[in-house]
Structure 1
Amino acid sequence: MLRSKEIQRCAAVFIAVTAVFTVLAFCVAPLAGVLVLGFAAAVGVLFWRFTAARYRRLADLAEELDRILHEEDRLLVADAEEGELAILQSQLGKLTTRLREQNDALRREKIYLADSLADIAHQLRTPLTSVNLVFTLLKDEPDPARRRALLREGTALLGQMDWLLTTLLKISRLDAGVIELKREPVPLAALVDTAAEPLRIPLELHDIALNVQLSPDAAWLGDRLWLAEAVRNILKNCMEHTPDGGRIAVECDDNPLFTALTIHDSGPGFDESELPHLFDRFYRGKGGGAGYGIGLALAQSIIARQGGTVTAKNAPEGGAVFVVRFEK
C-alpha cells in the first residue's frame, strides 16, 4: 500500500499538517498540544485501516479477475454491499461476462469457418477431378466430335465451379454485412417474372408449367435484385425436384399484417427428417442430388437480412411448399 504515490503524498501532507497544528497547539497550552496530537493519531489510524481494507478488496478483486482469465468456468459475482468498489466489481462482472460471450462467439465462428472451408474444398474437389479427367481425355482424343463433346463437358464443369464460388462469395458478403441493401417497394408480379426469366428454357425443356397468380398490388419492401436472387433459388430448387410434365404454382397472400409468397411444386416433397435442415449450407438431403446445397441457404440469408422469413413444408396433397413472408 505504501508503494502507492497517492498514499505517500497523502501521508506526507497529513504529517506536515499534524506537525504544524501540534506545534501551534503546544504554543497555546501543553494539554491542547496533547489533544491535537492524540486526535491526529486516531484519525491516522482510522484512515490507515480504512485504506488498507479498500486495498485488500482491490487485491482480492484483482486476484479474482486473474483466476477468471485462467479458468473459463468462473464468474465474477458482485457482493451485496454498496459503494464505489461494489459498483466497480459489478461493472467488471458484466465486462467479463460480455468478454466471455464474445470469446465463445469467436470460437464458434472459427469452428464454422474451418467447417466451411472443409465443405468448400470438398465441393470443389469433385468438379476439379472431373475437369482434370476431361482434359486428360481431350489431350489423347483424335475424334473431332468427341473432342467437342469433351470441351462442352469441361466448360459446363467450369461453369458449375464458377457458380459455386460466386454463390459462396455472396453468402459471405451477406454474413459480413458489407452489402448495402436497398429499401424500396418491390411488386411481387415483376419480382417473380425477373426471378423466373433465366429458368424459362429449362422449365420448357422439362415440360414443367409455371402457374403464377399474384395480386397486382402485392409488394415487398426490400432490394429488388437480391430478392429476385432469393426467389430464383427457391424456384430452381422446386424445378430440380419436379418431374417432367409437372407444375410449379406461385401465389400470394396479401393482407394488412403481412405479404406472403407461396411456391408449391408437384414433386415428391421432403422427408420429415429433412425439414429442419433444408436451409443449412451444403445440406443436400438423404438422396444427395446434383446440387451443392447452398441455393436455399443463400435465399434464406437474403430474405433474413431484409427482415423476412422463409419456411418449407409438405403440402397435404403432396409436393413441397415454400413460404416467403414479410411483415408490413
Structure 2
Amino acid sequence: METLMRNPVFPKQAACILGSSIAIALVASFAAGAFAPGARMYGSLSPALLVGVSSLATGLAATLLFCIFSYHRYEEISRLSAEIDAVLHEGRPLIISDYREGDVAVLRNEVGKVCARLSKTAEDLAEEKRALANALADISHQIRTPLTAAELMVPVIERSSDAREQAKKLRELESLIDRVSWLVTSLLKIARIDAGAIKLTSQVTGAADVVRAAVEPLAVAFDLNDVTCEIRVAPETRFTGDAAWTAESLSNVLKNCMEHTPAGGTVRVEASEDAVACRFCISDSGPGIAQADLPHIFERFYRGSAGTESDDAGTAADYESAMRPKGFGIGLSLAQALVNAQGGSIRATNAAHGGARFDIVFPKLTV
C-alpha cells in the first residue's frame, strides 16, 4: 500500500470517487425530501435519508473496490519495473510467459518481446565482434607466413654465389609475392561480396566457355604440378548467369583440387544441363577430404588437419609451409560466396572411386 500511496495519481482518483459518492448521496437525500418539513431529526429515519445513506455506502464500497484494484495494478507495475531494472543493470532475462488477461499482462509481454529482441541484437553484435577479431587474426597469420618465408629467403639469395641458385630463389620469392597478392585480392573480393558491392549479371552463354575461362589461368600451375586437367563439356550445354564470376568460382575450386592432387594425378571438370538446372562437377584423384573436415570445408580460413601451420614467426616451418602450400582457406569460401550470390549451391563430397568431388548447381529460373 505504501507504493500505491506514493503514486501521485492514486490519491486524486480515490478522492474524486469518494467525493462523487458523497455528493450523489446528498443530492439523492435532498431530492427525496430527506430534510423536508415534518421530518424528525431524531427518531426513525425517513426513507429519503435511507436512500442517502445507502448511496453513501455504495460510494464507499466502490471507493474500496477501486483502492483494492488499483493496489494490485500498481503492485504488478512495480514488480515489472523492478524486473526491467534487473534486466538493464544485472543482465537477467525477463520472463514473459504471462498468460493472464489485462493491460498490465499485455504490457509485460510486449516489454518482454522488446527485451528479447535487444538481447538478441546484443548477442549478434558480440558474435560479430568476435568474428571480426578472429578474421583479423587469421588474415595476419595468413599474410605473415609467406612474408616470413620471403624474409628468410633474402639473405640466402644475398649470400649465394651460384647464379642458378639465385635464379631459383628469385622464382620462389616471386611465387611468394604472387601468393600474398592473390590472398589480398581474394580477401577484397570477399569483402565486396559481403558488402553487396559486386553487381552480378545474368546472361546465357556456353558452359564450355565458362569452364575454359576458369582453367586457362591455372594452365601453367597444372603443368608445374604435373597434374592433368580433363574437360568434359558438351558444346550445346548452356549456362545462365554471370559467366566471369562463375569462372572465378570454378577456378578457385580447380586450384584447391590441383593443390591436393599428387603428381601424375588428374582433375576433371564436367558440365551438364537439364530442364531444372545447369550443373558443374569438379573431381580429383587425390586422397579426398577427411570426414572431420567436410562440414567445415567452405568456412573462411578453415584449412583442416592437413593445413595447420606453425605459430612461431621466423622459423623454418613457416618457410617449408610457404614453399609447399595447401591453401589459405580462402578459395573455397570465395567460390561458395560467388555461387550463393547467384542463387546456386555448392557441395563437397568424396567420390566413390576416391578423391574429392565438388557439385555446383545453378537452378534455372521458371515463371
Partner of 1:219: 239
Matched, 1:316 2:352: yes
Q: Is contact 2:22-2:59 (8 Å) kept? A: no
Q: Give 1:140 shift.
A: 7.0
Structure 2: distance between partners of 1:313 and 1:319: 9
Between the two proteins, the alignment pairs up a number of residues equal to: 326
Residue in structure 2 matching 1:240, options 250, 259, 269: 259
Structure 2: distance between partners of 1:239 and 1:96: 51
Q: Give 1:234 shift.
A: 0.4
Of stretches 2-11 and 183-192 in structure 1, the one that deviates more from structure 2 is 2-11
Residue in structure 2 matching 1:298, options 330, 334, 337: 334
Instruction: State the superposition RMSD in angstroms.
Output: 3.3
Partner of 1:165: 184
TM-score (norm 1): 0.82
Structure 1: distance between partners of 2:243 and 2:101: 56
Q: Is contact 2:227-2:261 (8 Å) kept? A: no
Q: For the structure 1 residues 34 and 65, does the alpha-carbon distance in structure 2 shift closer, same or farther, using more than 3 Å as the test? A: same
Q: Give 1:299 shift.
A: 1.2
Partner of 1:51: 70
Q: Give 1:320 shift.
A: 1.9
Q: Give 1:233 shift.
A: 0.3
Structure 1: distance between partners of 2:181 and 2:333: 17
Matched, 1:115 2:134: yes
Structure 1: distance between partners of 2:54 and 2:173: 103
Residue in structure 2 matching 1:80, options 99, 108, 120: 99
Q: Is contact 1:134-1:150 (8 Å) kept? A: yes
Report the AA paired with residue 184 of structure 1.
Answer: S
Q: Is contact 1:238-1:265 (8 Å) kept? A: yes
Give per-residue Cα distances to partners, 1:65-96, cap 9 Å, x unaligned. 34445666745142332222222223333333
Q: Compare relative contact order (CA 8 Å, sep 6+) and give the higher one, 1 or 2.
A: 2
Unpaired runs of 5+ residues, structure 2, are 35-48, 308-323
Report the AA paired with residue 200 of structure 2.
Answer: K
Q: For the structure 1 residues 271 and 58, does the alpha-carbon distance in structure 2 shift closer, same or farther, using more than 3 Å as the test? A: same
Matched, 1:249 2:262: no
Q: Is contact 1:311-1:324 (8 Å) kept? A: yes
Give per-residue Cα distances to partners, 1:1-24, cap 9 Å, x unaligned. 344454455446445644654553
Structure 2: distance between partners of 1:12 and 1:128: 83
Matched, 1:34 2:53: yes
SS at match of 1:100: helix
Q: For the structure 1 residues 12 and 256, does the alpha-carbon distance in structure 2 shift closer, same or farther, using more than 3 Å as the test? A: farther
Of stretches 142-151 and 185-194 in structure 1, the one that deviates more from structure 2 is 142-151
Structure 2: distance between partners of 1:157 and 1:251: 31
Structure 2: distance between partners of 1:197 and 1:23: 104
Mapping of 1:1-328 within 5 angstroms?
1-7=4-10, 10-11=13-14, 13-14=16-17, 17-18=20-21, 20-28=23-31, 29-30=33-34, 31=49, 32-69=51-88, 74=93, 76-136=95-155, 152-175=171-194, 177-182=195-200, 184-187=202-205, 188-205=207-224, 206=226, 208-214=228-234, 216-221=236-241, 223-288=242-307, 290=325, 291-328=327-364
Q: For the structure 1 residues 3 and 194, does the alpha-carbon distance in structure 2 shift closer, same or farther, using more than 3 Å as the test? A: farther
Structure 2: distance between partners of 1:46 and 1:12: 13
Report the AA paired with residue 27 of structure 2.
Answer: L
Structure 2: distance between partners of 1:45 and 1:214: 90
Structure 2: distance between partners of 1:185 and 1:192: 15
Of stretches 141-150 and 114-123 in structure 1, the one that deviates more from structure 2 is 141-150
Report sequence identity in percent.
38
Q: For the structure 1 residues 6 and 210, does the alpha-carbon distance in structure 2 shift closer, same or farther, using more than 3 Å as the test? A: farther
Structure 2: distance between partners of 1:72 and 1:235: 49
Structure 2: distance between partners of 1:16 and 1:220: 82
Q: Is contact 2:96-2:113 (8 Å) kept? A: no
SS at match of 1:120: helix
Give per-residue Cα distances to partners, 1:141-197, cap 9 Å, x unaligned. 78888777665544433332232122223334434x433543524533332222223
Q: Is contact 1:262-1:324 (8 Å) kept? A: yes
Report the AA paired with residue 258 of structure 1.
Answer: A
SS at match of 1:273: coil
Partner of 2:315: none
Report the AA paired with residue 61 of structure 1.
Answer: L
Report the AA paired with residue 294 of structure 1.
Answer: I
